[in-house]
């Protein structure tokens, strides 16, 4: 079609009759709306097909094009000569066709005023003021064009045309489109553009504000200013934006300051008393809070420090751009004399450093660089010192008038603008910024005190720390930090009383769960647990070097978990249940696998190159160690999923199976036939200096896998590394120890290096892989933790898992009678000889009940086809044969007609809980009775079973009479609980 022309330079399709470009996909609508009488239906279809595959650029891309001001006009586009250009815009200058539109832009985007004096001026004064002020911030007339006239309209300036098209008069504007639709579209586009610009500006106080905005007063501070322009002031420099070398140099200096502060604390330049002082926000002499007893929490993760530093970098950008460079919008602030001097000193140091760096780079080309290195080091120290003093000056501002007199408080308001630049952040998302500001401020104060000692300003850091702390860091100091503390306290109250968004969806029959990207059926989850155990058992058989013609039960030493003893109270280095002398069946097997290799020819051929010279095959050994890593990944997944409420990834990967030489006790034990692991970690440990002691128990099938690995496989791995790989690695107490590093961490120490444990990313990776392969869904640690909580609430209603296990036992009448709380009674009185530090019997019993109920829900012991514990022979069930024969897919659910899983689980739980409740004191019985009633399918409010007749009579005799005023009836004693109804049950024999 002759009036549609493609411009290859810009990638736009231009309608030569309408004089503007068409957005991709709008050719048909444009022709039907504006050229309906000129184009037939068949021609329109041909035109759509013709331009469908052409490389037409999207309108949003064209809108961001940076067209040079001296570029010639784009052919076939409308050319206007009455343009007014804004000189205050930093990038992509705003251009319009009328003075009124430009005045509106200046007021809204740049807070521009005409400069008229107060009072009602005369018309002559108004005209004179506008004539003198408006031309200083605008340029007119200019030639301009626009590609699109829709929502992506942006006028851009071009050079004056060399010759006018068709001999028209100079400055002539093409007539508007003849059709009514085109005129309405142009009018609507302009109105919508003005409306969008007004929406991003806070014009007046809203009639109703939230309590959060009323407290922050952000609306009052930013009233009449463009939020997008204000938010740009705190944007970090980017490679695609205008170069800001001075500002980038200042931000690099700030990075060095924070690292210097961290090193000062680690090197002991700030002692424990000074750390406690900086961590207390109370004035000297008024330390009555326990918070003042905690040292500064400085051992944060690198990612946390990076996030915290970003907030302070945004503060430096805000002050440097608005105060020093005078960029718009000009928000209110009143600098102190110290702040004004500090920012001038910092800007001068940054400019000098940048210029010297440019000279040094130029001298590098000429081969003379060494002479300038020393000077650069000196300039860098000067810059860092100026940056530190300026940062402290921003904090040292006593607010006696408007709180926004402080430029730091004004920055907090701009920081509260949301990501869409059309409103403000909620308190739930804003408080981390306040914590970042306060934490880095504490580090800067410590570094300022250290620098003062180095410069001879003071004798000890504590002297300057006390002064700065009382002046602008303590409560009631009327400082920016004091304002941030108030906002943080109020914001946390809002956050604690606000529920998070819900994403959990259950099917009507409660058998299918959907949470974000995770889709999970209960039958599929139980089948998944079965497959994972079978896969781990097969991997263990390979690690035990069992020949295909050998029967595992005839080769591998027998093991009964119920017979194993353990003493968690022992603290000797290397102590574990493997070294307990009461387990003679575990002794003497350290070289069992090595002896098999030395005994059988087929294993010698696999692991040895030369049998006579005992030369090992490194590749075979590395392959075996790789198999061990795969098994450990499988074991890690099983321990996450089968132990009850899922632990955090870092808690699992940091488990120790034996006591270490650094004072850390092991947290893997054996108790009554089950392996239990205890986690002491807590995500708030660095803040509260306290941990939660949480017990989790593994099902017997998984416990057996772990014990066999520690008993037989782990010693063989160490022996192979020494013999074949000549490893210098020390024996690690971690169950998931990391591989040996290729480069030493301590160059001055030639001794072997103790390796850290696995990172939680390994767990996340295997979790994603297995869920995708077997269940065809997406999963990670966080998703599974939420899913496990939801499953426990929905299917274990009487035994709801909390977000974390609580460690505070419920009060009992027996504890009240002793005159102590239940916590003190469990921690101090009548403790068993084998109780480990921090372990409480009542809590451990309740945790075991929780884990055992979760085991039964997953089907462990009910349908996994596991033989008695003295045999390692694992029969292949029908479902596994179906998978191997190709008749059953991995995603197939359990056949409920073959195995009534729920009925079997309920029967087993009821029997086991009845057996366990006999030995459990109140209040754990309430928890176990709830499990029992749920497993039996009874209602939640079913009464407890009646006591035997003799017990009832004894109870009546003991409690008969009048109860004294103020006394309470204690009810039946714990000793009258019902016993197990199944004689000889395994849980009773083993202590359940």
252: enclosing H helix or E strand: helix 245-266
**Residue 83 pairs with which residues in a beta bridge?**
142
Q: What is the mean pLDDT of residues 178-196?
A: 65
Residue 449 tokens read as 């005190």
Q: What is the mean pLDDT of residues 765-772?
A: 93
Residue 757 tokens read as 């444990």
CA dihedral 124→128→129→134, nearest 10 degrees, is 140
pLDDT in tens, 136-173: 778 878 888 888 887 778 888 888 876 544 444 444 44
- pLDDT value, residue 365: 59
Residue 970 tokens read as 């204690």
pLDDT in tens, 42-83: 888 888 888 777 788 888 888 888 888 878 888 888 888 878
The dihedrals phi and psi of 736, each to the nearest 5 degrees, come to -115, 70
Contacts 24+ apart (CB under 8 A), 202-208: 202/227
3-class DSSP string for 12-26? EEEECCCCEEECCCC
Range among 528-532, 609-613, 939-943 rated most confident? 528-532
Mean pLDDT, the chain, integer: 77
521: enclosing H helix or E strand: strand 518-521
Residue 675 tokens read as 């392996």
Lowest mean pLDDT among 160-169, 461-470, 646-655, 735-744: 160-169
In 52-118, where does DSSP find H-type helix? 59-63, 99-110
Residue 238, pLDDT > 60, answer yes
The dihedrals phi and psi of 873, each to the nearest 5 degrees, come to -70, 120
Banded pLDDT at 691 (limits 50, 70, 90): low
Sort residue 861 into left (φ over 0), alpha (ψ -120 to 50) or beta.
left
81: helix, strand or coil: strand
String of b and e for 147-163 (b: at least 16 CB within 10 Å)? bbbbebbbbbbbeeeee
Q: How far apart are CA 697 and CA 366, in angstroms?
A: 70
By the 8 A CB rule, do 972 and 954 touch? no
Residue 511 tokens read as 């058998």
Domain ranges of the chain: 4-117+129-199, 213-496, 529-741+751-779, 808-818+825-833+842-866+900-959+969-992
Pairing of the two strands 608-610 and 615-616: antiparallel
By the 8 A CB rule, do 616 and 608 touch? yes
Q: How far apart are CA 613 and CA 301, in angstroms?
A: 50
Banded pLDDT at 813 (limits 50, 70, 90): low
pLDDT in tens, 634-653: 999 999 999 988 888 888 88
Nearest to 432 by CA among 420, 423, 440: 440
Cis before 329 (ω within 30): yes
Residue 956, pLDDT > 60, answer no
DSSP, residue by residue, 905-955: HHHHHHHHHHHHHTT--TTHHHHHHHHHHHHTT--TTPPPPPPPHHHHHHH
Lowest mean pLDDT among 551-560, 602-611, 940-949: 940-949
Question: Residue for token digits 């915290």?
Answer: 308
pLDDT in tens, 16-32: 888 888 888 788 888 87
Residue 307, pLDDT > 80, answer yes
Q: What is the mean pLDDT of residues 820-830?
A: 53
Banded pLDDT at 197 (limits 50, 70, 90): low
Q: What is the mean pLDDT of residues 960-970?
A: 38
Residue 922 tokens read as 């109140």
By the 8 A CB rule, do 113 and 98 touch? no
By the 8 A CB rule, do 396 and 408 touch? no
pLDDT in tens, 842-887: 777 888 888 898 999 998 864 333 333 444 444 444 444 443 444 4
Q: How far apart are CA 891 and CA 337, in angstroms?
A: 71
In whole angstroms, how far apart are CA 117 and each of 127, 132, 138? 13, 13, 21
By the 8 A CB rule, do 135 and 88 touch? no
Count the neighbouring beta carbons within 10 Å of the beta carbon of residue 764: 17
């Amino acid at each position: 079609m002759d009036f549609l022309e493609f411009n290859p330079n810009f990638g736009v399709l231009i309608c030569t009759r309408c004089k503007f470009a068409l957005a991709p996909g709008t050719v048909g609508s444009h022709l039907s709306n504006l050229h309906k009488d000129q184009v037939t239906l068949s021609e329109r279809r041909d035109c759509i097909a013709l331009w469908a595959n052409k490389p037409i650029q999207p309108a949003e891309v064209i809108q961001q094009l940076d067209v040079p001001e001296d570029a010639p006009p784009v052919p076939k586009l409308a050319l206007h000569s009455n343009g007014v250009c804004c000189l205050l815009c930093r990038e992509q200058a705003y251009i319009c066709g009328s003075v009124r539109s430009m005045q509106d832009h200046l007021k809204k985007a740049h807070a521009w005023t005409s400069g008229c004096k107060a009072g009602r001026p005369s018309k002559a004064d108004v005209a004179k003021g506008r004539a003198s002020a408006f031309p200083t911030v605008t340029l007119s007339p200019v030639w301009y064009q626009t590609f699109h006239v829709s929502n992506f309209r942006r006028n851009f300036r071009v050079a004056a045309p060399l010759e006018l098209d068709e001999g028209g008069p100079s400055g002539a504007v093409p007539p508007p489109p003849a059709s009514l639709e085109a005129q309405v579209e142009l009018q609507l586009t302009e109105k919508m553009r003005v409306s969008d610009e007004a929406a991003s500006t806070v014009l007046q106080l809203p009639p109703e504000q939230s309590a959060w905005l009323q407290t922050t007063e952000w609306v009052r501070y930013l009233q009449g200013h463009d939020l997008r322009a204000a938010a740009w002031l705190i944007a970090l420099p980017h490679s695609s934006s205008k170069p800001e070398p001075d500002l980038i140099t200042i931000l690099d200096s700030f990075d060095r300051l924070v690292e210097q502060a961290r090193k000062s604390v680690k090197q002991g330049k700030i002692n424990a008393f000074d750390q406690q002082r900086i961590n207390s926000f109370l004035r000297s002499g008024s330390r009555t809070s326990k918070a003042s007893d905690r040292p500064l929490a400085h051992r944060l993760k690198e990612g946390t420090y990076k996030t915290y530093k970003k907030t302070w970098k945004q503060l430096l950008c805000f002050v440097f751009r608005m105060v020093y460079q005078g960029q718009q919008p000009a928000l209110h602030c009143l600098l102190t004399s110290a702040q004004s001097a500090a920012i001038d000193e910092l800007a001068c140091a940054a400019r000098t450093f940048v210029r010297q760096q440019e000279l040094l780079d130029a001298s590098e080309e000429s081969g003379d660089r060494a002479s300038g290195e020393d000077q650069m080091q000196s300039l860098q120290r000067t810059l860092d010192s100026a940056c530190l003093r300026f940062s402290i000056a921003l904090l040292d501002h006593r607010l006696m008038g408007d709180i926004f007199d402080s430029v730091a408080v004004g920055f907090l308001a701009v920081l509260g603008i949301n990501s869409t630049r059309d409103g403000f952040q909620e308190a739930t998302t804003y408080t981390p910024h306040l914590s970042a500001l306060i934490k880095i401020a504490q580090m800067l104060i410590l570094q300022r005190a250290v620098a003062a000692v180095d410069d001879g300003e003071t004798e000890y850091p504590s002297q300057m720390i006390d002064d700065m702390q009382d002046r602008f860091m303590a409560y009631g100091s009327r400082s920016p930090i004091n304002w941030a503390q108030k906002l943080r306290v109020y914001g946390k109250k809002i956050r604690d009383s606000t529920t998070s968004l819900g994403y959990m969806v259950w099917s009507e029959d409660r058998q299918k769960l959907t949470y974000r990207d995770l889709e999970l059926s209960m039958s599929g989850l139980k089948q998944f647990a079965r497959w994972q155990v079978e896969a781990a058992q097969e991997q263990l058989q390979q690690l035990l070097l069992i020949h295909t013609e050998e029967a595992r039960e005839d080769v591998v030493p027998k093991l009964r978990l119920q017979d194993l003893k353990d003493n968690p109270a022992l603290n000797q280095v290397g102590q574990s249940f493997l070294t307990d002398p009461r387990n003679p069946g575990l002794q003497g097997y350290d070289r069992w696998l090595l002896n098999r290799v030395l005994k059988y020819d087929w294993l010698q051929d696999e692991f040895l190159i030369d049998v006579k010279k005992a030369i090992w095959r490194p590749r075979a050994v590395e392959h075996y160690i790789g198999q061990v890593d795969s098994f450990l990944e499988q074991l890690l997944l099983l321990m996450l999923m089968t132990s009850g409420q899922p632990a955090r990834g870092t808690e699992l990967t940091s488990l120790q199976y034996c006591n270490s030489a650094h004072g850390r006790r092991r947290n893997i034990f054996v108790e009554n036939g089950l392996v239990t692991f205890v986690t002491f970690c807590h995500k708030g440990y660095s803040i509260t200096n306290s941990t939660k002691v949480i017990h989790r128990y593994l099902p017997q099938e998984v416990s057996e896998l772990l014990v066999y690995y520690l008993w037989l496989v782990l010693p063989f791995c160490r022996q192979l590394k020494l013999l074949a790989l000549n490893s210098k690695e020390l024996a690690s107490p971690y169950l998931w120890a990391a591989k040996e590093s290729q480069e030493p961490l301590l160059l001055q120490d030639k001794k072997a290096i103790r390796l850290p444990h696995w990172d939680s990313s390994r767990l996340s990776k295997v979790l994603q892989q297995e869920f995708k392969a077997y269940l065809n869904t997406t999963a990670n640690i966080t998703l599974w933790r939420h899913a496990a909580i939801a499953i426990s609430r929905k299917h274990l209603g009487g035994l709801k898992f909390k977000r974390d296990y609580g460690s505070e036992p419920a009060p009992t009448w027996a504890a009240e009678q002793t005159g102590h709380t239940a916590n003190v009674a469990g921690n101090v009185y009548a403790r068993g000889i084998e109780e480990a530090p921090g372990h409480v019997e009542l809590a451990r019993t309740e945790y075991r009940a929780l884990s055992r109920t979760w085991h039964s829900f997953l089907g462990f012991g009910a349908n996994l086809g596991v033989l008695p514990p003295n045999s390692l022979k694992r029969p292949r069930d029908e479902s596994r044969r179906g998978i191997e024969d190709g008749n059953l897919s991995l995603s197939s659910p359990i056949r409920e007609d073959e195995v009534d899983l729920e009925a079997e689980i309920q029967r087993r739980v009821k029997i086991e809980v009845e057996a366990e409740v006999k030995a459990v004191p109140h209040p754990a019985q309430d928890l176990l009775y709830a499990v029992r009633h749920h497993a039996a399918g009874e209602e939640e409010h079913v009464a407890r079973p009646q006591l035997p007749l003799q017990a009832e009579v004894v109870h009546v005799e003991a409690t008969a009479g009048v109860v004294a005023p103020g006394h309470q009836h204690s009810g039946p004693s714990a000793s009258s609980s019902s016993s197990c109804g199944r004689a000889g049950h395994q849980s009773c024999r083993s202590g359940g």
